[in-house]
Amino acid sequence: MKNSSSKIILLLSGFLILDPFLRILSFKISTGMDWALIWDNIVENGNVSAFRFMEFWIFTPLAGLFLLTLSRFANIIYSILTLYKFYSLVTYTPYDWPYFAARPHFGAFCIITVNLVFVGILMWPLMKKYIFSYHFKDVWDARGRYHANFKATLYLNGREGFSCGRIKNISSGGALINITDIKIPMAKPKDEGILIIETDNKEHLYFDIELVNTTIAPKGDLIGMEFVNMGPKISLALLNMLIDLRASDAEKEKRTPSEVL
């Protein structure tokens, strides 16, 4: 399956790199104009700005070259260039450069349609995760909590040492940590500090927190806390974590009792 996808990407990249010449060929076939006249209009037309000239000769081949790298960043650049080419096509001024016709020729629409379909295929995982999720609104809801088992370390302002434990549940507004190794005096509500969560992929997320409540339990103290002063980067990281936890919970609900055991 992966080899098939790579072959499709390589084939599409080749078409994109050759796109300006394919457009010229399509224009020649559809109009029957002499090659010299076509070349004069598209290549040597002195009324064309440098940007418009690059739009025709550079942008689409550049998208193809980016696509060849098979990286996520390249996919984003390819998608942006494709969407711009689509915008340029639908806002085309009649009898303007480079088509000099009432509307762009049929081949140009075919090429951009194929590209838009492929952009949709590349972006589908992201759209499915962030846009089309039925429960997307729950991720932003601070009342929606998800069970977790992340390693965590808690530092409190003005206290020496730290406490280690595991996150029991988490939401977009705060978390509950089960302290298993206490190396600082007993925490109390309104204390402020930093919570470090280690995700499944060994990434460390740093949250400014304010303690809300503490509960002494035989298997470890439970401390509830609220996230404060969250910037865009940590908010996005938390959003991704909550989406993954929700997907994990949904997957567990689908399993039969025998599969869970």
Q: 6-19 pLDDT, tens per residue?
A: 777 787 788 888 88
Percent of the chain with pLDDT over 70: 74
Q: Return the residue matching tokens 């104009």.
A: 33
Residue type, 195: L
What is the predicted pLDDT for the residue at 139? Answer: 46
Tell me the average pLDDT across 218-224: 77
The structural domains of the chain, ordered by start, are: 2-130 (no CATH), 143-254 (2.40.10.220)
Mean pLDDT of the chain: 77
CB < 8 Å & 24+ apart, contacts of 158-165: 159/184, 159/185, 159/193, 160/184, 163/187, 165/220
Q: Which two tokens stand for residue 104?
A: 């762009």
Query: How far from chain centre, in Å, is Cα 36?
Result: 46
Predicted confidence band of residue 254 (pLDDT cuts 50, 70, 90): low
Lowest mean pLDDT across 109-113, 141-145, 204-208, 227-231: 141-145
Predicted confidence band of residue 133 (pLDDT cuts 50, 70, 90): low
Predicted confidence band of residue 184 (pLDDT cuts 50, 70, 90): low
CB atoms within 10 A of CB 230: 15
What is the predicted pLDDT for the residue at 143? Answer: 46
